C-alpha cells in the first residue's frame, strides 16, 4: 500500500476492471442463491438483504470503510486519510489506478456483509439489518481487512490469505453464528419443514457465483500475471473436486445426489480455495477442494438438528469452509507455487500462523459482532413480530410479493368505481339480513 | 344454507369481487382453475410440435350464503361477470348441511345469524 | 342435476379428458391439488433435513351433468383414469340445486336442455 | 356420506393434517386458494401504485367421510386449525350422493365400509 | 473516426472485447427486468421485444445503421461508405480494430431500441414493433449518434456525453413517451392494478444490467486507461448512492423499501452517471447518483396516476434520469478529472451546451418517432385487438405461454388415439341427450 | 502445442482468463436452457446433468483427459505425459501459461459432455449418466480433440475448426442421436404433449450462452489480437442474422414467432459460426448464420414427428448446426480474413477436407458412443423405471422438487410432536369404524 511510485500498467488495469465487475456480480448472485433457499413468502426480503448491501456498504466503504482498512495507520486499524476518498485518485497503486483498487476492495466488503444475511434470514427487521451491516463493515470488516491486507499485524506475521479465506469467509461465518444466536431461531425452526422455494434460483446463484469468483480469486493477484493464472486455474479445479466429493457424500449418506447439495459443494470448494488460490499447485487444490467438503458436510447434517438456526448455513459453508481452507493453505502451500513452504513442504510454522490468524478473526469478529448487535438491539427491535414472521416478511417490510397473479388486487387511487366503493365502506347501519350473507 | 360455486373469467374477477362487495357479500374463497367449454381452444407451437390447449384459465369463487341471499348473490355474479362471449362460465348452487366458523366453533345458522358484521374490521 | 367431482392422477388427465370428450362431455373445470391417501409418501432431503411429503400431486375435475348422464360420466372417468395402483383417486357425486349460465343468465334445466351444442365451435 | 370442505390458514395446514391423521382420517385432498373475509387486507405498493390486496392465502381441505364421522372430523379441524384471530376460516359440510374409488370401481358405502384400511401401506 | 493511422493496442482490444460482450448481455438483462414487471400473460412477449432487437437491430446496424452514424458525412448524418460493412475491417480505429468498434457501437444501438419497448408493453403488435425498432435505429438513433459521437454538430459544439446519457437514454426516453401516446394506454390502465408478475426477475435483470453497465461506461473510454478506470469506479459508486437514496425516499413516502423500487433506483443511478462517467470525480458521482433519484422518483409517483401509460417507466427512469445526468454533467465536470470545467468549477457555459444537446435530442427524437409510428400505423395496425390484450399477448403472438403445466395440452399430429378423436369431431348429428350433458 | 519456448504475454493471459470464465458460465447457462425446456417434474434432474459435468468432467480432464488430447502422442491420441497435470505449469504455452490453456480446454470438454444430456433428458438414470459422460470425455472427446487441435491427423490435413464446430458440436450431436436411440424414447413421446415448463429460463440460458460464446470463439484465438476481434464480431453478427432468419421461418411456417424458436435460432447461429469465426468476413458470417437455420429448422420440424426422441434437439441444433457451419467454413473461408481460401474464393479442396473431418467425427463419435453406452448398460441400468418416469426424476433421483410450497411436508427428525405421531403409526388394531372414515 505504501509504494505508489510504480506506474500504471494498462493490462493490469483492464484485468482488474473485469475482475471487479465479476466480483460485483457475485452479490446479486448471492441474492439468488439465498433467495431460492428460503420460503416463497420471504423471497424478496432475503434477496433485498443482498441488494441493499450494494448500496449501504458501497457508500460507507467510500466514506470511511476503505480508509480504515487501507489508509496508513497502526497495526490494528488504518487512519482517516482516505475518508471521503480524499487523496484516492487515478495515480498508480501498485500497477493499477488507486481508485480501481478501492473499488475492487469495495466489492469484497459488499459481499462479505451480504453473506451474513443468510444466518438471520426470514426473521430480522430490515431496518435493523441495514444498520447492522453498515456498522459491521466499519467496525469489524475494515479492521480485520487491515490486519491481513492493509499492512496490519497478521500481515506482518506472514499470514497467507490470498483472496479472503479469513478476511471474508471466516469473518462472515462467525458473525453469522453470533447473529443467529442474538436474533434467535425462527419460530418454525425444528418444528416445521422449511423448504427451499426455488431450487433453480439456487443453481443460478451458484453458476454466477462461480463465474464471479474467478474475478475474486484471480483478481486478487492485482495483476494479469502467472500468479493470477494459477489462482484462476485453482478456482476451476477445486470446486470441481468439491462438487464430486459432495455428490459422493450425498449419495452415500442420503442415497440421493441433491441439487441443493451440489450447489453447496461448489460453494464450499470455492470458499476453501480462496485463501490458497495463488499459493498451491492445481493438484493440491483438487485435494484441498475435496477435503474441505468433509467438515462442512458433517456440520450441515448436524446443524439442522441443533438449536442454532443459522438458516442458510453460513457458518458451515463459509465459516468452516474458510477455516478449513485457511488451515490447509498452511499445509499445501509451497514456495515453488508462489506461497511459502507449508507443512507438506516440511515447514509447520506456516500452519501455526494460519491458525493464529483464524483464531484472531474468530475472536474479534465474534465479539465485536455481538456487541454491535446488542447495541443496535437496544435502539431498534432486531426481530420482526410474530405475525409478520407468520405471513412472511415480503409484504410487511417491502409491500410486495415475489410472484403475483394480481387476483383481488384493487387500485386505491381515486377513480370512478373506487369512488363508489369508498362511499359504501364508511360506517353505516348494517341490517341483519346483510349480516346473514356476509358473515357465514 | 347454500354453497354458491361460480366459474368465471380471470379478467372479470375484480369486477365480480366489487359486485359482491356492493351487495355486502364479504365471505368468499377463490381458486385458480382451468376450464373447458364452448370456447375455441388455442393452438400453441413448440419446436415443431403443434398442441391444442383444451383448457382455458378460469377462476372459481365459492361463497357460502344463507338461503334468502342466494338469488341476490347469483344475480350479482351473473351481472358483474358477464361479457357476452362464449366462456363466461357457470354458477352452481349446492346444498350445505352444516357450517362452522373455525375461530369460534360457532355452528350453522346459529353461527351465522346473530353476529353483527364487523364493518370496520372488514375494510 | 349433479356435480361430479373427481380426483385423479395428473398424468392421467389427458386420458380422462379424451375419455370425457368421447362421450360428449365438454363442460368441465379442473384444478391442480394435492392429495393424501393410501399412497406411499415420498421422502425428500434438504441439507440434512429429512422430510416426508405427505401429499402427492393430483388433479380435480368438476363436471356439472344432468341426472341421466351421471352414470355414463362416472364410468368414463373410472375407465380412463385407472392405472390399478394405489392413488388412482375418487369420484364424488353431489346434488346441485341450481345452475346458471353467466353469459345468458339461463337457469337450471331450462338453461340446459333445449340449447343445441355448438359442435363446430367446441372443437 | 358427507363431503367436508374446510378453508384454513396455510401455516396451520401441517397442524391440521396431524390432527386429522391422529383420528385416522387419511383420505383427503387439499388446494391452495385465496380468501376474503373479516381479515384486514394488506396494502402493497408498486412504483407509485397503491394496491389493496383483498384476498389472503388460504388452503382448502376436502374430505369425504361417512356420516358417523362427520362430527369427529369437523372437531379435529376446528381444534387443530384455530389461532383465535380473525381469518381462521370455515368448515362446510355438504351431502354426497355417491362415491366411487377409481382404482377398483367400488361404489358408495359398499366401496367404503368393508375394506380394511391398509395401515402399513399408508405410512 | 478520421484518424485511422494509429496502431492496434492488444490491451485495448482485449478490454473492448470484454466490454462489448458485457454490453451485449444487457439486452437479455433488460428482457428480464422488463419481463418481470409485466403480467404473466405478457411475459414472453415483453421478453421477446428485447431479444428481437438483438436480431433486427443487430442486422440493420451492419447493413446501414453503423454507416449512417459513423461514416464520413455532414454535420447531421453520416454517409453510406460503411454500408454492408464495406471498408470496415481489422485495421485500427483509434487503438482497436475498426470492426470491434462497429460491434461495440452495435450493442448500444440494440439496447437503446429495446429500451423503448417498456413504454408500449402489453399492447403493441409484435410485427409492428419489429418494423418500428428497425426503422427507428436508422432514422432516429443513427443521426443522433452521429451528432454526438460521429463528429456531428453537437460533437463540434463540445457536448459531453461520455457513454450515452443523451444518445441512449434521453433519446429512448422521449421515443418511449411518444410511442406510449401514439399506441395508447392499455385497456386496464387506471382501472385495474397491473402488478409485476415476477419481482425476482426484475432483480436478476438489475444485477446483470449493472454488470454489463461497467462495459457500457468504462468501455466507452475505448481504451484500458485511467479514464476507463474512472468511468468504472463511478459506475460502482453512483448507483450505490442512488440505491441508498431511493430506499430512503421509499421508506419516507410509502413506509416500505420495495424491491422494485431498489431495482429502479439502481438503474436510475446507472443512467444518470452514464453521461458523466469519465468526467467527474467519484465523490461527485456519488452526489450525482443520489440527486438524480429525486426527479425520477417524483415522476414515477405522478405518472401512475396520469393518463400517460408509459407502462414500465421508460421516460421517468431513462428519459428523466438521462436528462438529469446530462445536465449534472455540466455541473460536476472538471478538467482535472478528464472533462472540461463545469458549473461547480466555475464555468456555466458547459451547462448551456448540455442543455442544448438534450433539447435537440428531445425535439428530433420525439418528432421523428411520432412520424415514424404514424407511418407504420398507416400500413400495419400498431395495436393488438381487444381480445388479445385480454388474454395476453403470449399465446396470440408467440403461440406459447411462459410457464406451462401441460394440463389439457393435446398433440395434434396424427397418432392412433388422435385419429380416433379426429373422427369423433367431424360434424355429426347431436342428440339432445348429448346436449344435456355437455351444455350445462 | 510443440513450441513452448515463447514467452508469456500479459494481455493474452488476461484475455484468456476472462474468456475461460465466460466459457465456464456456459455450462450453468446450458442448465437453464435445457432445464426450461423440460417438464417441471424433471427440471432439477435436467439442470443437474449440466452441473454435474462441471465436477465429473472437470476432474477427469485434469486427471487424464487433457493429457490424452494435448500431450505429445501419435496421430490419433495424445500420450499420458500430462496425466495428473504432471509438467503442466505456469510456463508459456504459446503466449499464455500452460495451466491456463489446460483450463480453457477443460471448459470446452465440460460443456461438450453436458450438451449430450439434452438427448436423454427426462429418462436416463443419473448414476449411469455420470459414468457415461466421464468415460465419454476420455474415450470420445479427447481423441477427436486431439485429431483436430492436438496435432492429430485432421490437423495435419488442414481441417479448419476455429472453435469447435466439429470437435464440440458435431461430436456432441451425433453422440446425442446414439444416446437417444440406445436409451430409447420417453414413454410419452409421440403420445403426449411435453411442453417446456419455463420458457423464460430458456431465454435466460440463451442470453448467458451468447455472452459466454464470445469467450468460446474469440478466446479460441488464444491471444487478444485481430483474429480474436474478428471471431468476436462474427459471434455477434452471425447469431443476429440467424435470429432474424428463424423468426421469419417461424412466422411463415407456424404463423407465430415463438420464443423457444428465437432461442433456438440464436443458438444455431452461434453453433454454425463456431468453426468459421476466425476465418470468414463478417458479411459472410451474416450469410452463414442465416443459411444455417434452414437445415436445422427443417430437422426440428420433422424430428418431433419421428420416433427419434432426441428430446431437446441436440442433433438438430448442435449436430446439424455444427455440420452446416463446418462445411460452410469450407465455402466462405478466405485467406484474406485469416483462413485459407475456400470454395467461394475459388478453391474447393478445403470443402473436401471439411467434409472429411465431419465424417470422421460422425463415424468415430457415433460408434464409440454406442459401444460405451452398451458397456455401461451391461453394468448399470441406463434407464429409470416406468414409475419414476411418471412422477418425474427430481424426487426419485435427487430427493427434491424444483419449486416447493412446503404443504404437507413433515420433518422426520425426532421432536415432541413427531414422537407422538410415530407412536400412532405403529401397526395397531384398526377398528372398522376408523376404516370407514379414512377409506372413502
Ligand atoms: N358442465 C360443466 N361443469 C363444470 N364446469 C363447466 C361446465 N360447463 C362449463 N363449465 C365451466 O365454465 C366455463 C365456460 O363455459 P363455456 O361453455 O365455455 O361458456 P358459456 O358458459 O359462456 O357457454 C368453462 O371453461 C368451464 O370452466
Ligand atoms: N376421503 C377422501 N376425501 C377426499 N379425497 C380423497 C379421499 N380419499 C382419497 N382421496 C383422494 O384420492 C387420492 C387417491 O386416494 P388413495 O386412497 O391414495 O388411492 P385409492 O383410491 O387408489 O385407494 C388421494 O391422494 C386424495 O387426493
Ligand atoms: N361465506 C363464505 N364462503 C366461503 N368462504 C368463506 C366465507 N366466509 C369466509 N370464508 C373463508 O374463510 C376465510 C376466513 O374468514 P374470515 O371471515 O376472515 O374469518 P373468521 O372465520 O375467523 O371470522 C376467508 O378468507 C375465506 O377464505
Ligand 2 mean position, distance from CA C64 (Å) = 21
Locate the ligand 3 atom nearest the alpha carbon of residue D58 and give its number: 27
CA distance C11 to chain B (A): 15
The residue whose CB lies within 8 Å of the most ligand 1 atoms, and thus the one to mutate among B58, B77, B86, B90, is: B90
Instruction: Supply the residue whose CA is at minimum distance from atom 12 of ligand 2.
Output: C89
The set of long-range contacts for A346-353, using a CB threshold of 8 Å and a minimum separation of 24, is A350/A158, A350/A160, A351/A327, A353/A157, A353/A158, A353/A159, A353/A160
Quote the CA–CA distance of F148 and F165 in Å, as a whole number: 11
Confidence class of residue A411 from pLDDT cuts 50, 70 and 90? confident
Quote the CA–CA distance of E132 and E57 in Å, as a whole number: 10
What element of type H or E holds D79?
Answer: helix D70-81
The per-residue pLDDT for B109 is: 57
When the pLDDT of each residue in chain F is averaged and rounded to a whole number, the result is 92
Q: Most distant CA pair in chain C: distance in Å?
A: 62
The per-residue pLDDT for E196 is: 97
F151 backbone dihedrals φ, ψ, rounded to 5°:
95, 10
pLDDT of F328-355, one tens digit each? 999 999 999 988 999 999 999 999 999 9
Whether residue F247 and residue E403 make contact (CB cut-off 8 A), yes or no, is no
Q: What percent of chain B has pLDDT over 70?
A: 87
CA distance A416 to chain E (A): 9
Residue F345, classified by CB atoms within 10 Å of its CB into exposed (0-12), middle (13-18) or buried (19+), is middle
User: For the ranges A108-122, A197-211, C34-48, C66-80, which has the lowest average pLDDT?
Assistant: C34-48
Contact residues of ligand 3, CB 6 A cut-off = A 440; B 27-29, 62-64, 101, 103; D 7, 35-39, 56, 58, 86-90
Mean pLDDT of A317-333: 97
What subunits touch chain D, counting only 3 or more CB pairs under 8 A?
A, B, C, E, F
Provide the grid cell at C38. 393410501
CA distance B65 to chain E (A): 23
Locate the ligand 2 atom nearest the alpha carbon of residue D102 and give its number: 21
Residue F431, classified by CB atoms within 10 Å of its CB into exposed (0-12), middle (13-18) or buried (19+), is exposed
Tell me: pLDDT of B106 over 80. yes
User: Measuring CA to CA, how many Å separate A185 from each of A129, A180, A181, A307, F418?
Assistant: 16, 7, 7, 7, 19
What element of type H or E holds E262?
Answer: helix E259-273
Tell me: pLDDT of F413 over 70. no
First and final CA of chain D: distance in angstroms? 25
Q: What percent of chain A has pLDDT over 90?
A: 87
CB of F11 closer than 8 Å to CB of F94: no
pTM exceeding the 0.90 threshold for the entire prediction: yes
When the pLDDT of each residue in chain D is averaged and rounded to a whole number, the result is 86
Whether residue A282 and residue F62 make contact (CB cut-off 8 A), yes or no, is yes
The per-residue pLDDT for A135 is: 98
Whether residue B34 and residue E410 make contact (CB cut-off 8 A), yes or no, is no
Provide the grid cell at E135. 426503422
Ligand 1 mean position, distance from CA C28 (Å) = 6
Q: Which of B11, B50, B55 sits opposite E408 (nearest CB)?
A: B55
The per-residue pLDDT for F430 is: 31
Return all residues near B43 (Cβ < 8 A) that are at least 6 apart.
B50, B51, B52, B53, E399, E412
Q: Ligand 1 within 6 A of B15 CB?
A: no
Whether residue A427 and residue B119 make contact (CB cut-off 8 A), yes or no, is yes
Q: Ligand 1 within 6 A of B62 CB?
A: no
- b/e sequence D84-98, b meaning 16+ C-beta within 10 Å: eeebbbbbbbbebeb
Contact residues of ligand 2, CB 6 A cut-off = C 7, 35-39, 56, 58, 86-90; D 27-29, 62-64, 101, 103; F 440
Ligand 1 mean position, distance from CA C111 (Å) = 12
Ligand 3 mean position, distance from CA A234 (Å) = 59
CB of E162 closer than 8 Å to CB of E220: yes
Q: For B79, name the nearest residue in chain C, comparing CA atoms only.
A: C102
Q: How many CB pairs under 8 A join A and B?
A: 73
The per-residue pLDDT for A216 is: 98
pLDDT of B12-37, one tens digit each? 999 999 999 999 999 999 999 999 99
pLDDT of F254-296, one tens digit each? 999 999 999 999 999 999 999 999 999 999 999 999 999 999 9
pLDDT of A53-91, one tens digit each? 999 999 999 999 999 999 999 999 999 999 999 999 999
The per-residue pLDDT for D109 is: 57
Closest to F205 (Cα-Cα) out of F55, F316, F46, F53? F46
The per-residue pLDDT for E420 is: 32
User: For the ranges A1-10, E241-250, F9-18, F370-379, which has the lowest average pLDDT?
Assistant: A1-10
Quote the CA–CA distance of C122 and C20 in Å, as a whole number: 14
**Residues of chain B whose C-beta is under 8 A from some C-beta in F?**
44-51
Confidence class of residue F428 from pLDDT cuts 50, 70 and 90? very low
Return all residues near D49 (Cβ < 8 A) that are at least 6 apart.
A411, A413, E193, E304
Quote the CA–CA distance of A113 and A133 in Å, as a whole number: 6
Return the C-alpha torsion angle E144, E148, E152, E158, nearest 10.
150
Mean pLDDT of F79-98: 97
Predicted ipTM beyond 0.90: yes
Low-confidence ranges of chain E (pLDDT < 50): 1-4, 414-440
Tell me: pLDDT of A173 over 90. yes
Q: How many CB pairs under 8 A join C and D?
A: 89
The per-residue pLDDT for A42 is: 98
Q: Which of E390, E395, E408 sits opposite B54 (nearest CB)?
A: E408
The residue whose CB lies within 8 Å of the most ligand 3 atoms, and thus the one to mutate among D37, D55, D60, D86, is: D37
Confidence class of residue A406 from pLDDT cuts 50, 70 and 90? confident
Confidence class of residue A421 from pLDDT cuts 50, 70 and 90? very low
The per-residue pLDDT for F114 is: 98
B4 backbone dihedrals φ, ψ, rounded to 5°:
-100, 125
Return all residues near A425 (Cβ < 8 A) that are at least 6 apart.
B119, B123
**Residue scoring higher pLDDT (D37 or A240):** A240
CA distance E382 to chain C (A): 29
When the pLDDT of each residue in chain A is averaged and rounded to a whole number, the result is 92
The residue whose CB lies within 8 Å of the most ligand 2 atoms, and thus the one to mutate among D6, D28, D116, D120, is: D28
Quote the CA–CA distance of E384 and E386 in Å, as a whole number: 6
Mean pLDDT of A90-102: 97
Amino acid at each position: 500500500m505504501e509504494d505508489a511510485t510504480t506506474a500504471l500498467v494498462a493490462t493490469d488495469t483492464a484485468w482488474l476492471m473485469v475482475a471487479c465487475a465479476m466480483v460485483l456480480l457475485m452479490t446479486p448472485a448471492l441474492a439468488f442463491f439465498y433467495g431460492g433457499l428460503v420460503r416463497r413468502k420471504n423471497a424478496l426480503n432475503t434477496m433485498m438483504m443482498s441488494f441493499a448491501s450494494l448500496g449501504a456498504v458501497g457508500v460507507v466503504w467510500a466514506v470511511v470503510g476503505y480508509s480504515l482498512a487501507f489508509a496508513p495507520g497502526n497495526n490494528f486499524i488504518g487512519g482517516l486519510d482516505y475518508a471521503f476518498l480524499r487523496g484516492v485518485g487515478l495515480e498508480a497503486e501498485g500497477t493499477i489506478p488507486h481508485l480501481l483498487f478501492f473499488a475492487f476492495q469495495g466489492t469484497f466488503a459488499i459481499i462479505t456483509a451480504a453473506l451474513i444475511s443468510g444466518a438471520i434470514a426470514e426473521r430480522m427487521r430490515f431496518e435493523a439489518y441495514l444498520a447492522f451491516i453498515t456498522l459491521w463493515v466499519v467496525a469489524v470488516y475494515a479492521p480485520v481487512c487491515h490486519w491481513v491486507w492493509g499492512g496490519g499485524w497478521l500481515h506482518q506475521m506472514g499470514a497467507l490469505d490470498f483472496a479472503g479465506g479469513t478476511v471474508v469467509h471466516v469473518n462472515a461465518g462467525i458473525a453469522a453464528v453470533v447473529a443467529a444466536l442474538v436474533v434467535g431461531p425462527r419460530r418454525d425452526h425444528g418444528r416445521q419443514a422449511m423448504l427451499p422455494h426455488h431450487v433453480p434460483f439456487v443453481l443460478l446463484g451458484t453458476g454466477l457465483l462461480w463465474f464471479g469468483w474467478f474475478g475474486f480469486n484471480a483478481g486478487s493477484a492485482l495483476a494479469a500475471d502467472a500468479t493470477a493464472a494459477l489462482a484462476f486455474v485453482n478456482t476451476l479445479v477445486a470446486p470441481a473436486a468439491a462438487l464430486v466429493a459432495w455428490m459422493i457424500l450425498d449419495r452415500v449418506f442420503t442415497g440421493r445426489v441433491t441439487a441443493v447439495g451440489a450447489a453447496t459443494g461448489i460453494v464450499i470448494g470455492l470458499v476453501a480455495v480462496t485463501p490458497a488460490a495463488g499459493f498451491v499447485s492445481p493438484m493440491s487444490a483438487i485435494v484441498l477442494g475435496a477435503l474441505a467438503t468433509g467438515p462442512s458436510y458433517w456440520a450441515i447434517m448436524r446443524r439442522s438438528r441443533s438449536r442454532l438456526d443459522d438458516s442458510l448455513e453460513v457458518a458451515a459453508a463459509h465459516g468452516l469452509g474458510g477455516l478449513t481452507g485457511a488451515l490447509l493453505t498452511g499445509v499445501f502451500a509451497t514456495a515453488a507455487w508462489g506461497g511459502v513452504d507449508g507443512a507438506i513442504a516440511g515447514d509447520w510454522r506456516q500452519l501455526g500462523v494460519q491458525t493464529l490468524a483464524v483464531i484472531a478473526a474468530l475472536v474479534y469478529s465474534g465479539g465485536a459482532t455481538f456487541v454491535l448487535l446488542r447495541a443496535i438491539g437496544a435502539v431498534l427491535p432486531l426481530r420482526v413480530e410474530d405475525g409478520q414472521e407468520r405471513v412472511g416478511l415480503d409484504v410487511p417490510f417491502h409491500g410486495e410479493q415475489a410472484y403475483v397473479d394480481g387476483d383481488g388486487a384493487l387500485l386505491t387511487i381515486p377513480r370512478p368505481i373506487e369512488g363508489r366503493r369508498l362511499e359504501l365502506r364508511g360506517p353505516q347501519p348494517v341490517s341483519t339480513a346483510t349480516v346473514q350473507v356476509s358473515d357465514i | 344454507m347454500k354453497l354458491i360455486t361460480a366459474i368465471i373469467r380471470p379478467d372479470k374477477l375484480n369486477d365480480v369481487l366489487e359486485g359482491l362487495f356492493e351487495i355486502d357479500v364479504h365471505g368468499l374463497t377463490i381458486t385458480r382453475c382451468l376450464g373447458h367449454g364452448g370456447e375455441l381452444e388455442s393452438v400453441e407451437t413448440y419446436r415443431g410440435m403443434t398442441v391444442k390447449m383444451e383448457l382455458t384459465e378460469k377462476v372459481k369463487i365459492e361463497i357460502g350464503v344463507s338461503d334468502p341471499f342466494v338469488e341476490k348473490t347469483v344475480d350479482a355474479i351473473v351481472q358483474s361477470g358477464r361479457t357476452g362471449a362464449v366462456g363466461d362460465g357457470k354458477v352452481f348452487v349446492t346444498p350445505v348441511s352444516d357450517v362452522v366458523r373455525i375461530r369460534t366453533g360457532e355452528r350453522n345458522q346459529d353461527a351465522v345469524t346473530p353476529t353483527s358484521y364487523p364493518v370496520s374490521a372488514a375494510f
